[in-house]
């Protein structure tokens, strides 16, 4: 069974984890999504997956976009550029 099947967010409204923006109501949404992540037994797997694939948007492994970029910035940007449409890398 993959880690996704054990995720605390499984069955939750996916929109919760993809706020529009990072301030105002979106900040509250991010905080709510992170609360779900904090109780998740596969949070580290989720974060690792997002970083390895260069996922830019959403809350993954308890970290918002800006937090993942700050923590793993170069890795995320490098992998995202490799995975972007039109990229020859």
- Over residues 21-57, the pLDDT tens digits come to 989 999 999 999 999 999 999 999 999 999 888 888 9
Distance, CA of 31 to CA of 81 (rounded, Å): 28
- pTM of this structure: 0.78
Is the pLDDT at 88 greater than 60, yes or no?
Answer: no
Count Cβ atoms within 10 A of the Cβ of residue 28 and give its class: 0-12 exposed, 13-18 middle, 19 or more buried: exposed
Contacts of 79 (CB under 8 A, 6+ apart): 51, 52, 53, 54
CB 37 within 8 A of CB 9: yes
């Amino acid at each position: 069974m993959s880690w996704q099947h054990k995720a605390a967010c499984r069955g939750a409204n996916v929109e919760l984890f993809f706020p529009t923006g990072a301030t105002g109501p979106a900040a509250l949404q991010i905080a709510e999504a992170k609360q779900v992540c904090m109780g998740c037994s596969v949070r580290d797997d989720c974060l690792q997956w997002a970083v390895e694939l260069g996922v830019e948007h959403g809350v993954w492994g308890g970290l918002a976009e800006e937090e993942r970029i700050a923590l793993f910035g170069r890795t995320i940007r490098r992998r995202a550029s490799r995975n972007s449409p039109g990229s020859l890398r």
